[in-house]
Structures are given as structure tokens and as C-alpha cells.
Homo-oligomer: A and B are copies of this chain.
Amino acid sequence: MARRAGVSRATVSYVLNNAEAVRISEPTRRRVREAAEELGYVPHAAARSLRAGHTRIVLLPTPHVPIGPLYSTFLNELQWALRRLDYTVVQYGSLGLSGDEAVRAWAELRPVAVISLGEITLTSHNVATLKRAGARAVITMGPVGVPGAHALVMDQQEVGVRAAAHLVERGRRRIGVVVPREQGLELFSAPRLAGARAVAGAEVEALPMAYTEESAAELAARWRGLGLDAVFAYNDEYAMLLMRALQDEGLRVPGEVAVIGADDLLVGRLLRPRLSTVRIEMPTGDHLASLVDHAVREPSEVTERHDLMAAEAVHREST
């Protein structure tokens, strides 16, 4: 590239980066630009960041399973927001890697920030490794903070609390809580169950169920024997499935059993009775992105905790 334009590598660098510090003559600039165009020359990101000593990579560990529309939308937004701030988003799947192995693999990329959603539980040693490797921000989202990391608390427990409290308010006592049989959802389902258990006046029973019609029908078939008068069904999708199965079994909703979901999906309003739900106020992707950006530029305020998630019960017709 350099000799194609008949100049030195240094000059090429100056021209292509519009360096202010040095003055390059107009004819030279033109020659360089033309040569670059002609050769389809594109600078090499690895070489650049090697020299610079840092990258603009934000590492986002990939969830093991699809997490539902609410969360996907949030992640998608987050990616776009980071892009706009000129970060490069790297999705990194870590299935089959132990926590330490995964962290080492991440550190190889020298990300400037890591946003861990909880697929892997970070230790403070892990956080230290990442920081030594150049990470200026390590952000964990989950119920519990990690020393040395920024904690963005998104407390799923609150969802369970709101659901159970809503049912109790409406006079229900014996509450079933659906726990998905699908692997990888424990991160969400366990705190939601725990939240429901924490509500005074609720007698909670965990009900494993898979996201299939068969599993829902099987649960509905033995419903009368369970002696429950309400169910919090993990989220709207499981709730819809179970509500239908209960109705097919001849049970009246909400008469004999109240049903509430979570996520406030539009489709929940299409069933009859309309599904009651817990609306979750997710932080916007822009918001989290700017938090990340801030943490990268100002890594001083390390242990700050931000509470980001709010939840409220929405009464419709199924409770």
C-alpha cells in the first residue's frame, strides 16, 4: 500500500487518519487516497489496537438459551446503542467452558468492557483477571454483586413478589408457581420462585412444567388434586399455555383458579379471559450503554450499584 502510492507507511497513516498534528500536501493526500481506493485497502484493526494498547471491544457472553422476547429486545437495543458509541460488540458463547476458562478466553480479546448477564458466575479473582487484561468496566447483571465489578441489579425476585402479592390481595392463598423444566432458565425462574415464597400470606408450591402442550395438559389433569386456588406461571407464554390447558380441563379462570404471568406480552391480551401479568420495566439499551461508556471513561467509581429493574402487577381478567 505504502509503495503503491510511492510514500512511506507513516504518511499513509497520517492521511487516512486525517492527523491534525502533521501537515501533508494536497497532492500527496490525493495520491494516497487514490491508491487506497484502488487497492481496496482497509487498515488492520488488530495491528491498530496492538499499537494503541487498548481496544473498543465490549464483550457480551451469549445466553445458553433464547431468553424470551423482552430480553432479546433489550439485548438487541443494547448492541445498537453500543455501536452508536463506536464500540465493537463481540458475542462470546462459553458453553462447555468452566468459569475460569471462559474468563481467560474473554481476556484474550482485551475487551474494554464485559457485560456478564449471569451465564457464568464471576468471582472477584475473575474480575481481577479481566481488569489486568485491560477491561475498564466489568458489569454484572443479576441478583448479586461481585466485588470489584459494577453491579447492575436486575432483581428477578421482585417479579415473584409482585405476582404473589397481587394474588394474595385478591384473596388467594394456595399459590402454585410454575418452574420451567427447560435448562438455562434457572437464572430467572429461581429468583421468581423465591420472591413468591417471600410474600406473607402465600403458601407456595413449585410446579415443574415444560413449554409443551403435553406438559401443560399433564399438569392440568392433576390440578384438582393439588388444592391450589391460583398460579403464577413464570411468564406470559407459560401462563397462556397452562391457562388453556386448565380451561380444557373444565376449570373456570379466574373463578376456580387465578392465573398470572409476567412480561406483559401483547398476545396475552388475545386470550379470553385476558391474562393478568407482571409488567417488567427493563432499562433501555441506551441507558445501559451510556452507563458502560461512563464506566469506561471514569473507571474510578468502581463499586457503584445501580438498580435498574422495576416490576408491577397488571390486573386484567384472569385473576
Contact = CB atoms under 8 A, between A and B. Distances in A.
A251 interface: no
Nearest to A49: B46
Interface in A57-95: 60, 62-66, 69, 72-73, 76, 79-80, 82-84, 88-95
A237 interface: yes
Given A50-B46, A240-B267, A73 B80 contact: no
A89 to B, nearest CB: 5
Taking the full assembly, how many copies of this chain does it contain?
Answer: 2
B93 A90 contact: no
A202 interface: no
A275 to B, nearest CB: 10
Interface string A104-140: 1001111000000000000000001100110000000
Interface stretch (A37-45, A174-182, A220-228, A302-310): A37-45
A270 interface: yes
A241 B213 contact: no
A55 B62 contact: no
A217 to B, nearest CB: 12
Given A93-B89, A237-B267, A271-B271, A62 B42 contact: no
Contact of A40 (B50, B76, B84, B129): B129
A133 B46 CA distance: 12
A244 interface: yes
Contacts of A80: 62, 64, 93, 95
A269 B243 CA distance: 12
A122 to B, nearest CB: 14
Interface in A9-29: none
A35 to B, nearest CB: 14
B109 A88 contact: yes
A45 B76 contact: no
Contacts of A104: 42
Interface of A: 39-40, 42-50, 55, 60, 62-66, 69, 72-73, 76, 79-80, 82-84, 88-96, 104, 107-110, 128-129, 132-133, 211-213, 237, 240-241, 244, 266-267, 269-271
Given A65-B76, A66-B69, 11 more contacts: A40-B132, A42-B104, A45-B108, A45-B110, A46-B110, A62-B79, A62-B80, A69-B69, A82-B93, A88-B109, A91-B91
9 tightest Cβ-Cβ pairs between the two chains A and B? A83-B93, A46-B46, A42-B107, A45-B108, A244-B270, A40-B129, A46-B50, A91-B91, A40-B132
